[in-house]
Structure 1
Amino acid sequence: MPHVVTQSCCSDASCVYACPVNCIHPTPDEPGFATAEMLYVDPATCVDCGACITACPVGAIVPHARLRPDQQNYLELNADFYASGAGPGPSERPLLAPMITSTAAVRPDLGPLRVAVVGSGPAGMYAADEVLRQTGAQVDVFDRLPMPYGLVRSGVAPDHPQTKQVTDLFELIAREPGFEFFLNVEVGRDLDHAELLPHYHAVVYAVGAAADRRLDVPGADLPGVGSATEFVGWYNGHPDHQHHRFDLSGNRAVIVGNGNVALDVARILLADRDRLAGTDITRAALAALRAGTIGEVVLLGRRGPADSAFTVPELAGLIACPDFDVVVDRSGGPAPDPAAPELSFAARHKLALLAGLPDLADAVPDRKRVVLRYGRTTRAIHGPGYVDEIETEPTPGTDGRVEKIATRLLLTSIGYHGRPVPGLPFDPARGIVPNRAGRVEGTAGAYVTGWIKRGPSGFVGTNKSCAHETLQTLVADFNAGRLARPAQSAAQLSRLVAARRPDRLDSAGWARLDAAERQRGRELGCIRDKITEVDQAVQIAAAQSRKGLLGFVR
């Protein structure tokens, strides 16, 4: 009975190394690992031991006999990866997947390795894990918010709790000896690189790519036009986005872009509200969705179906949702043949899934639906003081005419771009800090990992291999004597931070805040009730601390 990967997994390769017969690919040493949409189990060589299930931090692997009806297509997807030649055959594989090893820090004259990591999302937490692999190492993780874990907390859709399970792994990392949080502390505002570095051998920046790419068309600044990032942050409780208001009173929303985030937004707009009530979506967003009347979400792709930006698992998950239909507007012309040899494995399966969807002309009346449209370029946005329609034209090389689509809500989801990091060089064209294998040239002790290093690409687990490369570079510099021994102590750092940011939260403070959110969630019958305001989060963590101290005294 073979096992099956059933979603866009975290790609951190835990299952790869747990497998005793090396039947899960691509592995981290294979060329396609960094760009793979997911991992695949070879049904011909799987021995049904279950080791991969235990190792998977997001619950993505299921025995094929236990697949739900909406997961059956993953059985064919896993098998076809090998049958099509996209994956290595048994004769091409070593007995076990080669382990990725870490270089040991071997400079006792410099003291135990001490590193600061700026950013507590997946890139930052995987970087911290890499540091802690060194004997006696210490790592402090800084984040400007009181709540850690970045996009796993504030970007992953609330109805994808399996993906959020990777935070269990991050919690294990945070409990390792030598780890400490400096939350609600902004590097670049409360203290800069030059002030931080004397306390460490090096500083690793894992600050992501927080800026949205914006439409450059007339009307793009009209009220009612926003970004998918703002909408996701709003319903996920990110403190930066709680002031946003979205008009959900119309019957249609339009999203420019068709990546995974666009699919998430479409699904949340149309999903059953009672089912969402059990998730960690904010109560304010849930109330707004309950009052809303949107019944159709149109996703506009600039290129053709074979170039869809979403991944196969995300489209499969959207199609499987029982709350709405997914249809394709084929007025722009026929899609390529899924069997075309020049197509990639992922493109073939995207086209095969799309080919099985009904046409917009055959959509069931009065049924909620997501409409996938291709070959459309945004030309202008119109409205008398508020958006009421988007004007599109056919992308060169596609069929069609200029069209206007009525909407009261227009969200853009066309990519991300990094922001400059104070004290570090910046490449504005690529939106990254220029680096060589993670080392920031020309800035002493500075390293980068994640999207600020490589640009907005990859998945949650891609950051693990990215962080490994950066820490390999850092340790090589440490061993070569290119990093200075910290001139100031951890105690001096704590005093500096206390003077600049007295409301900083440490690991114990986050534990209290986390417990409070979970308790509030239990009272409401959901996973957690997120605290969405920074000041409130700090106050709750402090109040819980006093409560715990009084309980101990008694």
Structure 2
Amino acid sequence: MSGFQKLFSDVALWTWRRSRWIHRRGVAAFSSCKPKVCVVGSGPAGFYTAQHLMKARRDVEVDIYERLPVPFGLVRFGVAPDHPEVKNVINTFTQTAKHARCSFYGNVNVGKDVSVQELQQAYHAVILSYGAEGNRRLGIPGEDLADVYSAKDFVGWYNGLPSCRELSPDLSCETAVILGQGNVALDVARILLSPTDILKKTDIAQPALEALMESKIRRVLIVGRRGPMQVACTIKELREMVKLPGARAEMLPSDFEGVPEALPGLPRPRKRLTELLLKAALELPTKEEQERRSKASRSWGLRFFRSPVLVLPNSDGTGTAAVRLAVNKLEGSGEAARAVLTDEVEDVTCGLVISSVGYKSVLIDPSVPFDSGKAIVPNKLGRVQQAPGLYCSGWLKTGPTGVIATTMNNSFDTARSLLEDVDSGKLDMSAAKPGAQSIRTLLEKRGVKPVTFSDWEKIDSVEMKRGESVGKPREKLLTVENMLEEAWA
């Protein structure tokens, strides 16, 4: 082989290897355009999706749009104030938002200020990650009475969500009933019963803290339609309830019939959770625990095999006097067991009812396919059906299930689907897209001024200083107007 031929051969081999490397790295072989991706929603799903896209491809640019002036979604407005460690993911999200190839646009209401179709014209791909901001209803008479709240709104109230600022729940009753036994239900119970000396050191909204300081609630019942072996909370949340200062557990031993015998056959996570329940319900407490319980001024209890059928009004017909529960029997066993109503009912006197039966996604734009029965966007691995270039992640994709780590994994899956579509040519990359440039022009014409991430950092700084002055990690601004005022100061 001549020197020229060898050089030609080496160049050809190098070119072939580079093309293979480029393909593996995900740099589209079909176009030299930089993929411009829009993410709608700045909660965990939105940030995790953006993070994975930018990590996997060195040329992708991501813009995140958020309805509120502040980012982080349920990490800010859903995580309990006494769980600051869960909020540490904000540090990772901040790194993503400050990345050179990522931009944040708060105060932009997609579906109102700008349509999804307009976003699709400006970007190669649009990912809907705006979560579940609606409430699942109980579907029973009396649920619209005063003093009946959804857990979503109640959590929003104590976490400083602007739309829940004026909730003003009446906490002058002795007993509250929470319908549902998931982690959110236990969060609400814990906040209602926690000593305010603990809460005043958190970022709980000040009006909520003041209301809880005056609260007369001394007993919280957490009601579920199935049994102890189907309870939906995790062991961490249950353990916190068991150890809650100043509170004791009060369970019905009859709810645990047959449970000790079934314990050996349970999967390990379920077994550990059930063992803790049994310990709280049936085991004789140690002398130290007896003493702790005797000093407790508040109590809580899980009530199993009960379904709400009616909220009873008080004497003037506006407030709540009691909730009527039907007693259930289980058909089947294990996780698949189904609750069936019997004719037996019981009334539980209470002045506050909180429904914790689940969040629900809502449709924000009529152009987006939506399954109203399941309250999700119909999708396959995050690809929205019959809508090329449109994707979804998080609770909008799966329904309101799992914890932040679950959302992370399903968001990464959506990002991978999008990247596969770039590589395969399924996603149209034939032309460059203007991205945020054209959207900013549209918004300006419509009188909408976005909040940038550096604007959010001004809000953040103000909230931290406000908190510092009262011994809290943060004192949140509670209105959109105040947020915007600080952002643009």
TM-score normalised by L of structure 1 = 0.76
> Which residue of structure 2 lines up, in the alignment, with residue 534 of structure 1?
480
In the TM superposition, what is the alpha-carbon distance from 1:325 to its structure 2 partner?
Answer: 1.5
Q: In the alignment, does 2:116 pair up with 1:183? A: no
What corresponds to 2:38 in structure 1? 116
Identity %: 35
Matched to 1:534, the amino acid is V
Q: Give the letter for the 1:445 counterpart.
A: G
Counterpart for residue 513 of structure 1 = 459
Q: Which residue in 2 is equivalent to 1:375?
A: 305
Could you tell me which residue of structure 2 aligns to residue 16 of structure 1? Answer: none
Alignment partners' CA distance in 2, 1:338 and 1:540: 60
Deviation (angstroms), 1:193: 1.3
Q: Secondary structure at the match of 2:156?
A: helix
Identify unmatched segments of 5+ residues in structure 1.
Answer: 1-101, 544-554
Q: Partner amino acid for 2:188?
A: V
- State the partner residue of 2:192: 269
What does residue 87 of structure 2 align with? 164
- Provide closer, same or farther for how the CA distance between residues 251 and 441 of structure 1 changes in structure 2, counting only shifts above 3 A: same
Aligned to 1:264, the other structure's residue is in SS state helix
Contact 2:81 2:202 in 1 (8 A): yes
Question: TM-score, with normalisation over the residues of structure 2?
Answer: 0.86
Q: Distance in 1 between matches of 2:27 and 2:149?
A: 47
* 236, 243, 247: which one aligns with 1:324: 247
Residue 473 (structure 1) shift: 1.3
Please give the secondary structure, in 2, of the residue aligned with 1:372.
strand
Matches of 1:302 and 1:364 in 2, distance apart? 30
RMSD: 2.1
Distance in 1, matches of 2:328 and 2:254, equals 13
Partner residue, 1:468:
412
Q: CA 1:404–1:489 in structure 2 vs 1: closer, same or farther (change >3 Å)? A: closer
Range that drifts further, 216-225 or 253-262:
216-225
SS of the residue corresponding to residue 384 of structure 2 reads: coil
The answer as to 2:110 corresponding to 1:201 is no
**1:415 lines up with 2:358 in the alignment:** yes
1:445 — aligned with what? Answer: 389
From the superposition, tell whether residues 225 and 387 of structure 1 become closer, same or farther in structure 2 (CA, over 3 Å): same
1:483 aligned partner: 428
- Deviation string 1:2-37 (CA, Å, 9 cap, x unpaired) is xxxxxxxxxxxxxxxxxxxxxxxxxxxxxxxxxxxx
Opposite residue 308 of structure 2, the aligned amino acid is T
Displacement of 1:108 in angstroms is 6.7
Is 2:166 the partner of 1:243? yes
Higher relative contact order (CA 8 A, sep 6+): 2
Closer, same or farther: CA 140–335 of 1 in aligned 2, 3 Å: farther
8 Å CA contact 1:360, 1:371 repeated in 2:
no
Query: What is the match of residue 25 of structure 1?
Result: none
Q: Does 330-339 or 316-325 show the bigger shift?
A: 330-339
Q: 1:276 to 1:489 in 2, by over 3 A?
A: closer
Give, in whole Å, the separation in 2 of the partners of 1:379 and 1:335: 27
Cα deviation code 1:64-114 (max 9, x no counterpart): xxxxxxxxxxxxxxxxxxxxxxxxxxxxxxxxxxxxxx9623247241221
Task: Please state if 1:131 is matched with 2:131.
Answer: no
Post-superposition Cα deviations, 1:239-273, rounded to whole Å, max 9, x if no partner, equal: 11112121100111100111100000000001111
340-349 or 190-199: bigger deviation: 340-349
Structure showing greater Rg:
2
Contact 1:327-1:360 at 8 Å conserved across structures? no
Classify 1:500/1:122 alpha carbon distance in 2 versus 1 (closer, same or farther; 3 Å). same
Residue aligned with 1:258, SS = coil
Task: Say which SS state the counterpart of residue 532 (structure 1) adopts.
Answer: coil
Structure 1 residues 205 and 338: alpha-carbon distance in aligned structure 2, compared to 1, 3 A threshold: farther
Distance 2:99 2:30 in 1: 22
1:182-240 Cα offsets, whole Å, 9 max, x none, are: 10101111011111122211010101122221111121111111111111000000111
Q: Residues 257 and 412 of structure 1 are in contact (CA less than 8 Å); yes or no, is this contact kept in structure 2? A: yes
In 1, Cα distance between the equivalents of 2:163 and 2:29? Answer: 42
Q: Residue in 1 aligned with 2:219?
A: 296
CA shift for structure 1 position 426: 0.8
- Aligned residue pairs total 442
Does the C-alpha gap of structure 1 residues 137 and 254 become closer, same or farther in structure 2, counting only changes over 3 Å? same
- Partners in 1 of 2:241 and 2:256 — Cα distance? 23
- Shift of residue 421, structure 1, vs aligned partner: 3.7
Residue identity matched to 2:184:
V
Q: Paired residue for 1:31? A: none
How far does residue 339 in structure 1 lie from its aligned partner after superposition? 5.4
| Contact 1:120/1:206 (8 A) holds in 2 | yes
8 A contact 1:103–1:475 mirrored in 2: no
Secondary structure of 2:404 counterpart:
coil
Q: In 2, are the aligned partners of 1:439 and 1:446 still within 8 Å (CA)?
A: yes
Distance 2:191 2:343 in 1: 30
Q: 1:117 touches 1:205 (CA, 8 Å); kept in 2?
A: yes
> 2:10 — aligned with what?
none
Task: Write out per-residue CA displacement over residues 253-304 of structure 1, whole angstroms, 9 at most, x where no aligned residue.
Answer: 1001111000000000011112111110010000000011101100011100
- Return the alpha-carbon distance in structure 1 between the equivalents of residues 450 and 283 of structure 2: 53
Match of 2:349 among 390, 406, 422: 406
Contact 1:330-1:373 within 8 A present in 2 as well: no
Give the aligned residue type for 2:389: G
Bigger mean CA offset, 219-228 vs 116-125:
219-228
Return the match for 2:257 from 324, 331, 334: 334
- State the match for 1:93 in structure 2: none
How far 1:452 sits from its partner (Å)? Answer: 0.8
| CA distance 1:341–1:160, change in 2 (3 Å) | same
Structure 1 distance, partners of 2:177, 2:223, is: 7
Match of 1:495 in 2: 441
- Aligned AA (1:257): G
Per the alignment, in what secondary structure is the counterpart of residue 356 of structure 1? helix
Structure 2 unmatched runs, 5+ = 1-23, 285-289, 331-338
SS of residue matched to 2:469: helix
Q: Distance in 2 between matches of 1:103 and 1:303?
A: 49
Q: Which residue of 1 aligns with 2:154?
A: 231
Alpha-carbon contact 2:242-2:249 (below 8 Å) kept: yes
Cα offset for 1:343?
2.1
CA 1:458–1:289 in structure 2 vs 1: closer, same or farther (change >3 Å)?
A: same
Counterpart Cα distance in 1 of 2:100 and 2:428:
23
| Correspondent of 1:390 among 311, 314, 323 | 323
5 Å-filtered alignment, 1:102-113, equals 104-107=26-29, 109-113=31-35
Tell me what 1:45 maps to: none
- Residue by residue over 1:453-507, the C-alpha shift from the partner in whole angstroms, topping out at 9 and shown as x without a partner, is 1111121021222122111111121223332434435433322222335332011
CA distance in 1, matches of 2:413, 2:435: 27
Whichever residue aligns with residue 357 of structure 1, its letter is A
